[in-house]
Structure 1
Amino acid sequence: MTMSTPLATLNQTIQTAQFSGAVLIRQHEETRYEQAYGFANRSEEMPNHPHTRFAMASGSKLFTAVAVCQLVERGHITYNTRLQEWLELPEIEGFGDVTVHHLLTHTSGVADYFDEEVMDDFEQLWLTTPMYHVREPEDVLALFQDQPMKFKPGERFSYSNSGYVLLGLLIERVTGESFRTYIENHIFQACGMESTGYYRMDRLPKQTALGYIDEEGGQWRTNIYSVPLIGQPDGGAYTTLYDLDLFWQHFLKGKLVSEETAALMLTPQVEPDDDDSYGYGIWIDIRDNEIFRHYIMGCDPGVSLISFIYAGTGIRSHVLSNQTEGAFLLAQELDNIAVSGV
């Protein structure tokens, strides 16, 4: 009887699920697994590649969080800075008490323009506000700025895309630069992430995967009418496996923010549930009262991402997919590999 290995199980899951995307597993400086599957362009049958650019969805919230923490380190703001000190906010009860810390940890109580506690269809947002009109952070602001607060700031955790849009607006006000320009200059270029950026969906660079929404009967469509025209502070950047890994290496080594600030971002700040905690822009998986892994994830129509940094092992596992659920299908296998060894 042949015993299956964790890598063999991963490969079987990929084949069974008809996964489309790319997978990278690295341990310290060594690549232990690198594969790509499916098509970046189904119509032309152009295959995905380990260096294909994929959309990140909410995974790129971490870039926004790092940028804000950089501004804290430079003394421009603090984690206790109230948003109203920099931005003109609507006259909504409780808005004036929202701080940078609240926004970073999804505890602000600001109404979310896509509230996952009550909504499940991202495409419905664009019935009244066409996605091609959403080009700058202030365009997103119009989707939620007149809605009442969900709860008092700091009262509880509630995942908020709107909160990260506000952080992007804060970055613009503090620096005098556009959000995307700041991120590109102070994060992407600083890490040498040459294949990462915020690209318009109608102007994608070469080697970029189109996002696909699979429907019944084997039908499919691209996601060009399902997500904003260009990424915002709450998500939507494009990256490659190796650029994403470059980011983590620079971040963990204190090259984007100090090691002390990186440690703060990686430290649980709030506990959404019994198993997961959240730092600043980073999810934290707690098992047996110890940190098992830090991670980011993202999901949009036609887009999914998981990026796991396993505590104490040096293993970094990244999955980028141009399918809505593709990346999440591999999560358990990646955990098994981290526990058993590559």
Structure 2
Amino acid sequence: MPEATGLPAGTPAWSGTAVLADRGRVVHEESAGSADGPGSTPCGPRLRFQAASVGKQVLSVVALALQERDRLHVAEPIARWLPGLPRGFGAITLHHLLTHTAGTGHWADLPGWGPGAGPPAADALPALTVEAGLATAPGTSWRYSGPGFALAARVLEAAAGERYRDLVAGLVLVPAGMASTTSGRFPPGWADAAAGHRGGHRVPVDPGWTRIPGSGDLWTTAEDLLRYARALRSGRLLDPGTAAALWEPHVRLPVPATTASTTADAYGCGTFLGRVGGRPAWFVPGDNPGYRSLLAHPRGGDADLVVLSNDEGPGLDDAVGRALRPFADPAGPGVSAR
């Protein structure tokens, strides 16, 4: 790990899989490396990877699906479902949490968090998030917060009376046909699950991430994420008018967030808005120890891009560029009039 990739000379080695589909038809597929070194399952569109923060959009879909069923409303204060919150937290709405405008901190802001520390226990996260306090008043500014999404999941559980992973299965995985995806189950060691790596060396994957909704609970395949993206945009998971709230620019980022393959200047619900590979798109990136992920929908067409990697290196960004080359072809995806 990483193994020979068969890519053009000079291309940085990587381990993962990248798939671009247009109108449901695969137009680019590339895989390299393996689940856990020589002799293990080769990477491919049916191998499970940790999706990291791709789960934030899925959590937002669950919230909006419950709103469609009149189980909650995202504009309601979360104190309705979580009584006893401190005064400042009482003004937070579910919409604030889903758009990172609640003022809650990120992992490094939690009491007891330190470099190299594993994730806090999922049951303790709400209390730790409250203990850390608010950096800004709810609704006043954008501040990325993984713990805020864990707090949102607690609201969903309280409103629906079900465990979060069961809500994901019933409202997303089953209707989208995602038979190889799980929420809240830790699959490393399974033959069809990729182990995390850093620079080609195995990274111990803390099972605690799998218990934190929106931050590591999803283990999925490229094939399943493509099914999810099409189900989401076709109305099988949400009414199209409701789904539009995911990629509506609810808040502008104070400073564009840029990686080698993406640039974000606004945020919807669990979803970044900006450019992927230089093309306007909505997208959901993920980074956790040992893994990187990206789900993207380039604007102006019917294409979806999924890249899943079990190495933290830059290979994912290079794979994005190669996957989007069909858009440069006059006969490629996303160029015909619709």
* TM-score, scaled relative to structure 1: 0.83
Do the aligned partners of 1:114 and 1:161 also contact (CA within 8 Å) in 2?
A: no
3-state SS of 2:107 partner: coil
Instruction: Kindly report which structure 2 residues correspond to 1:304-319, keeping only aligned pairs within 5 A, or say none.
Output: 304-319=292-307
Pair 1:144-2:129 in alignment = yes
Match of 1:338 among 324, 327, 334: 327
Match of 1:198 among 183, 189, 198: 183
Match of 1:281 among 270, 277, 288: 270
Q: CA deviation at 1:102?
A: 0.6
In structure 2, the partner of 1:234 is 214
Q: CA deviation at 1:111?
A: 2.4
* Counterpart AA for 1:253: S
Match of 2:62 among 67, 70, 94: 67
Do the aligned partners of 1:310 and 1:316 also contact (CA within 8 Å) in 2?
A: yes
Match of 1:156 among 118, 135, 141: 141
In structure 2, the partner of 1:38 is 33
Q: CA deviation at 1:89?
A: 4.4
Q: Deviation per CA, 1:146-197, whole angstroms, max 9, x where unpaired?
A: 1121000111101111111111001110111111111012110111100000
Closer/same/farther in 2, CA of residues 89 and 206 from structure 1, 3 Å limit:
farther
Q: CA deviation at 1:11?
A: 4.5
User: CA–CA distance in 2 between the matches of 1:63 and 1:143?
Assistant: 23
Aligned residues: 313
User: CA–CA distance in 1 between the matches of 2:225 and 2:321?
Assistant: 20
Do the aligned partners of 1:25 and 1:32 also contact (CA within 8 Å) in 2?
A: yes
Pair 1:52-2:47 in alignment = yes
Do the aligned partners of 2:181 and 2:224 also contact (CA within 8 Å) in 1?
A: yes
User: CA–CA distance in 2 between the matches of 1:292 and 1:115?
Assistant: 32
Pair 1:303-2:291 in alignment = yes
* TM-score, scaled relative to structure 2: 0.84
3-state SS of 1:31 partner: strand
Q: CA deviation at 1:266?
A: 1.6
In structure 2, the partner of 1:174 is 159
3-state SS of 1:124 partner: coil
User: CA–CA distance in 1 between the matches of 2:302 and 2:173?
Assistant: 23
Do the aligned partners of 1:138 and 1:169 also contact (CA within 8 Å) in 2?
A: no
Closer/same/farther in 2, CA of residues 298 and 286 from structure 1, 3 Å limit:
closer
Q: CA deviation at 1:304?
A: 0.3
Q: CA deviation at 1:319?
A: 0.5
Q: Which runs of 5+ in 2 are unaligned?
A: 1-5, 257-263, 334-338
Closer/same/farther in 2, CA of residues 123 and 142 from structure 1, 3 Å limit:
farther
Pair 1:223-2:204 in alignment = yes
In structure 1, the partner of 2:227 is 246
Do the aligned partners of 1:304 and 1:328 also contact (CA within 8 Å) in 2?
A: no
Pair 1:22-2:10 in alignment = no
Q: CA deviation at 1:336?
A: 4.6
In structure 2, the partner of 1:113 is 107
User: CA–CA distance in 2 between the matches of 1:46 and 1:72?
Assistant: 41
Closer/same/farther in 2, CA of residues 282 and 256 from structure 1, 3 Å limit:
same
Pair 1:96-2:90 in alignment = yes
User: CA–CA distance in 2 between the matches of 1:123 and 1:12?
Assistant: 37
Give the share of equivalent positions with the same residue, in percent: 26
Do the aligned partners of 2:274 and 2:281 also contact (CA within 8 Å) in 1?
A: yes
User: CA–CA distance in 2 between the matches of 1:43 and 1:139?
Assistant: 39
User: CA–CA distance in 2 between the matches of 1:229 and 1:100?
Assistant: 22
Do the aligned partners of 1:106 and 1:157 also contact (CA within 8 Å) in 2?
A: yes
Match of 1:259 among 223, 236, 240: 240
Match of 1:268 among 212, 233, 249: 249
* Counterpart AA for 2:107: Y
In structure 2, the partner of 1:209 is 194
In structure 1, the partner of 2:3 is none
Q: Which runs of 5+ in 1 are unaligned?
A: 1-9
Q: CA deviation at 1:143?
A: 3.4
Q: CA deviation at 1:115?
A: 5.4
3-state SS of 2:173 partner: helix
